Structure 1
């Protein structure tokens, strides 16, 4: 007897409409993030990729306020980043990755940035992407965000995060197992 595979990464019609409405409103309110792009084209891509729309809904549900920040000239895909003023509330108090989570003997956080991102179907921003985001607005003045850490740093036990203070973007390091109430992560997805 074969088992029926249920796709849990699908939005209900109500969720679908609600999310598209929120994304369209945010898109129109923040045209400086995506000059020259048209919502109708973005919506068509979203409609054609329901699993990616589910991931964007996860970004929305965890406080990321995803928005289009550009379009890949080679692939034609639209780039969505978390554009909430502060690191998404539903993704804070987490360490960097599963290895870091497992290394904690006590006071373990509930999850890690890399695991949450994978579950959501998104990627952590890189340092370069984080800096690009900061050119579009002012983000993380009270919080900080884990960013994709180079393997050479991670192999030695560290991880990097960024924030904005004194009107400047800073990159810092910490033990990958550390976590703080004001540190989360920002994600990206291409559609």
Structure 2
């Protein structure tokens, strides 16, 4: 779905817009009061953002609109897949963590992958907002943006939902697991 220009072909754009519209209409509880036509107009006017949503979709994040920043007139998308996106699992937190591993390095890290996709990792606050819209990460977990003071000490934080409660945990930033990925956000 990607190319060097970070733009989708017309056919890819139309296919993605159809998928996003279907998800939007199926999950109206996530974006009450927001009209799809206005979201679509913003997306069509920002092909690089549509490409980023395409990357979120390609990696199985199932992006959906979760809000509208009226001051900036930006629509906010989060990964809304039931579990941490399959195409973004088994990654450590950042490049520093990746380079610190002596053996069994993962293929990538969450921070670089998100940057390459043109998205941001969810913060803990955003992750909790997402969990108010449904039950996510019941079997998996997701890295979230880690405060600098924790990262300075070699750690990183991740979240999941168990026992009808959202938990925030810590791990060494260099760790990676088959059931841990990351969720992203994008403003359009």
Specify if TM > 0.5. Answer: yes
CA deviation string 1:41-68 (max 9, x = no partner): 0000000000000000000000000000
Question: 2:45 aligns to what?
Answer: 48
Instruction: Give TM-score scaled by structure 1 length.
Output: 0.96
For 1:190 and 1:31, the matched residues in 2 are separated by 18
Displacement of 1:76 in angstroms is 1.1
**Which aligned runs of 4 or more in structure 1 are off by greater than 6 angstroms?**
none
CA deviation string 1:82-130 (max 9, x = no partner): 0000000000000000000000001000000000000000000000000
What are the within-5 Å matches in structure 2 for residues 24-173 of structure 1?
Answer: 24-173=21-170
Bigger Cα displacement from structure 2, 81-90 vs 7-16: 7-16
For 1:189 and 1:147, the matched residues in 2 are separated by 14
For the pair shown, the structure with the greater C-alpha radius of gyration is 1
For 1:95 and 1:74, the matched residues in 2 are separated by 35
1:17 aligns with 2:14: yes
For 2:140 and 2:132, the matched residues in 1 are separated by 17
Say how many residue pairs are matched. 186
Displacement of 1:7 in angstroms is 5.0
User: Root-mean-square deviation (CA), in Å?
Assistant: 0.8
For 1:7 and 1:13, the matched residues in 2 are separated by 15
Runs of at least 5 residues in structure 2 that lack an aligned partner in the other structure = none
Q: Secondary structure at the match of 1:22?
A: helix
Runs of at least 5 residues in structure 1 that lack an aligned partner in the other structure = 1-5
For 1:75 and 1:175, the matched residues in 2 are separated by 36
Q: Secondary structure at the match of 2:54?
A: helix
For 1:165 and 1:139, the matched residues in 2 are separated by 9
